[in-house]
Amino acid sequence: MRPQRSALIAVAAIAGCIHLPPSSRTPTEIWGISSPSAQDQPRGGIAAHVDTWIVLDSTSFRPTLAYQPLIASAPRERLTIVTSLQGSRYHPDVVRGIAETGDAPTNTARSVAALVGAQSAGLILDFQEMAPEDLTLLANVSRAIADSARAKGVKQISIIVPAGDTAAYPATTLARIADLLIVRLFPEHGVGTAAGPIVSPPWFARGLGVRAGQVGITRIVAGIPADGVLWSARGPARRVSYLEALQLAQRASTSFVRDPASGNLHAASARDGWEIWLADHELIERLIADGRRIGVTRFALFGLDGADPQISEFLVRR
């Protein structure tokens, strides 16, 4: 039996144990999460899109309205992210500092709530790279922000959690704070690892099954990467857009081929010293179809501004 098929069967069995609704009758809901400074991104077929980023400053701990991307044609729902991400990395000490400093959780929460736009239908909390011993601190800060946002009329709170780190981000604890968990089902290989597929269908299915088994499929949003990662001998690995990846391959006189095991696009240039693994519309469509078979109806596309342009056609026609 092929590995990806066996993984799907295993996760489907898990899903069957948690009393899934008849999701085949529930429309697929796609959320868009673009890079913070993105100015434009595909819009057709997107049910909700992040249009505001609030960053917790790594020095003062104060929330700052960092980015409000230009929305040419707004989707049905507009979302706001609150994050400890600054530059290219997360700052877990920000959450620790807020939690351990007097009235800081309450003051931060009120400041965040004041920055959330009146049109924002949902708030997403994005505090990555916390340690298991930080759980109480993470929960306290997240709960304070969630409570203040709800008092301001925000109807839906979500928390981004990594697929595999169930010790630092236990789903049952965080689901008592948030309405939904956005499960980052990537990177299987990423900026901090050796080069390889960003996310393969078996890896996706296993991670989704674990989190769904903890809180139920209706509380899950499956996070899928929509761009790629460039590993270079000349510098640190970084995320790369679909179009930039194609341009790099063209300049290196090479081309992308689909890796048969993972479904990712892959290219490498020995001359220029780089390797790229890339998500395209075919991989994204496959992962969404796999998630639907498991019972998931909500999906978040991370890096939507850097996605394969053909994903727009899929989003509109589905």
Does the pLDDT value for residue 279 go beyond 60?
Answer: yes
Q: CA nearest 171: which of 104, 220, 115? A: 220
pTM, full prediction: 0.89
Per-residue pLDDT band for 37 (boundaries 50, 70, 90) equals low
Q: What is the pLDDT of residue 18?
A: 40
pLDDT single digits (tens) 201-213: 999 999 999 999 9
Phi, psi of 100 (to 5 degrees): -100, 5
Q: What was the pLDDT predicted at 75?
A: 59
Whether 267 and 275 have beta carbons less than 8 Å apart is answered as: yes
The arithmetic mean of pLDDT across residues 8-20, rounded, is 40
| pLDDT, position 51 | 81
Give the separation between CA 26 and CA 29, rounded to whole angstroms: 9
What share of the chain in percent tops pLDDT 90?
Answer: 71
What would the pLDDT profile of 99-123 be if each residue is shown by its tens digit?
A: 999 899 999 999 999 998 767 889 9
What CATH number does domain 3-227+281-317 carry, 3.40.1280.10, 3.40.640.10, 3.20.20.80, 1.10.287.3510?
3.20.20.80
User: pLDDT tens for residues 236-274?
Assistant: 999 999 999 999 999 999 999 999 999 999 999 999 999
C-alpha 2/C-alpha 42 separation (Å) is 34
